[in-house]
Structure 1
Amino acid sequence: MDPQRNAVPLVPGTLLVASVDLSDGVFDGSVVLLLDVDASGALGVVLNEVSDLPLSAVLPGWEPLTTWPHHLFDGGPVSQEGAICLATPTHPSEEPPGWRPLFDRVGLLHLDTPVELVEGAYSALRIFAGYAGWAPDQLQGEVERGAWVPVRLHPGDVFDSDPATLWRRVLGRQGGELGWLATWTPTPELN
């Protein structure tokens, strides 16, 4: 992937699409949503990795409040014992208790918020165990080396109902050579 072709800035709300060359066993085929980028580094969550751990075992009562599929997501390899909840309020003019906006209408929901206050207050909600993190200038270096391609977020990406196909669909909508990679397979001889 040619990172110079894409001039999308590394800011909260940007998607990072893992290059086909990124085969570290951690981020292969990942789509990461950047949540914070500043001089101290960057932080994001993997949008397309469902955890093997049931959400009901970790946060009882939260599973029915989440957006389909009602699972805990694997947000990344850092601090997997912690959780990040992204949510979109049901009413655009409201900021429910425990919610802090990040970009557009997506924000962080504090998981200490009582379930009774969360019910009906959000049109979309997803919980991630862990996150992806980068030291200062590390992410920019990885982008320059072609490990990640920053692309624009589309409505629905954050709470996508089919995470298994998100990487291919995000690539496919980019068009050109980048879009062709949506058909990539690790075993091209099988094509």
Structure 2
Amino acid sequence: MSDFSTAPGALIAVPQLQDPNFHRSVVVMIQHDADGALGLVVNHPTHHGCRDVAAGFGLPWPGGDSGRLRRGGPVEPQSLWMLHDDGWGFDETMRVADGVSVSRSREALTRMCQGGEDHLRLLVGYAGWGPGQLEREIAAGSRIVAETTASMVFSWPADEVWSRALSQLGIDPAHLVESAGMVQ
């Protein structure tokens, strides 16, 4: 592998990427090294709410359920991930980008459930790539590398994340051709 790394950063899928796990996805990259890569899809909501997840752990969920649970990727769909702002400090917390950190512990979930849902995104599963796999996909043109922003993770509605992320790069999504042919 080269010294190229997408973490920290985001991957924006091109329209030709037809894999339903990644179609029009924006993936916040957590790790990318010689052993492979790991990221979280931030714009694919599930049919479940964060309240459902908290209840499964016997925890109350504060406020409404506007922060619908997101599907972070197809790998280990039972695993829980929390993207949150930098204000939460847990031993295992890892900073992903300015204003965005990731945690996975029950302690983190418990404290976050007590503190509200502002700047908190719960996700199940993750996206993973083996050694060199992501580099090959990027070289094939299936993804655009971008910067991760707190707005993309916490503020934008799920159905707008993909188009807004492209717009931030000066790319008009309407000018991208969507056609079959690129399957991951």
Using structure 1 for the length normalisation, give the TM-score.
0.77
Q: Does 1:80 align with 2:80?
A: no
Q: Of 124, 129, 143, which residue of structure 2 is paired with 1:134? A: 129
- Give the Å deviation of 1:28: 0.8
Please say if 1:64 is aligned against 2:62: yes
Superposed CA offset, 1:13-51 (max 9, x none) = 311000111012221110110001111100000011111
Is 1:101 the counterpart of 2:99 in the alignment?
Answer: no
Aligned with residue 40 of structure 2, among 34, 37, 45: 45
In 2, Cα distance between equivalents of 1:163 and 1:185: 21
- Quote the sequence identity (%): 27
Letter in 1 for 2:111: L
Asked if structure 1 preserves the Cα contact closer than 8 Å seen for 2:80 and 2:122, the reply is: yes
Q: Relative to structure 1, is the Cα distance of residues 186 and 161 closer, same or farther in structure 2, using a 3 angstrom cutoff?
A: same
Segments of 4+ moved more than 6 angstroms: none
Bigger Cα displacement from structure 2, 101-110 vs 34-43: 101-110
Unaligned runs of 5+ in 2: 180-184
Q: Which residue of 2 aligns with 1:110?
A: 104
* Contact residue 42 and residue 72 of structure 2 kept, 8 A: yes
Q: Is the 8 A contact 1:89 1:123 kept in 2?
A: no
CA distance, structure 2, for counterparts of residue 49 and residue 84 of structure 1: 14
2:152 corresponds to 1:157:
yes
Identify if the C-alpha distance between structure 1 residues 151 and 182 changes in structure 2 by more than 3 Å, giving closer, same or farther: farther
AA aligned to 2:144 is: V
CA distance in 2, matches of 1:122, 1:55: 9
Cα RMSD, aligned residues only: 2.7
* Higher Rg: 1
Give the number of equivalent residue pairs.
171
* Cα separation, 1, equivalents of 2:47 and 2:72: 12
Q: Cα distance 1:52–1:185, how it changes in 2: closer, same or farther (>3 A)?
A: farther
Amino acid at match of 1:77: P
- The 1:42/1:147 distance shift into structure 2, 3 A limit, reads same
Which runs of 5 or more residues in structure 1 are unaligned? 1-8
Counterparts of 2:92 and 2:66, CA distance in 1: 22
Do the aligned partners of 2:7 and 2:32 also contact (CA within 8 Å) in 1? yes
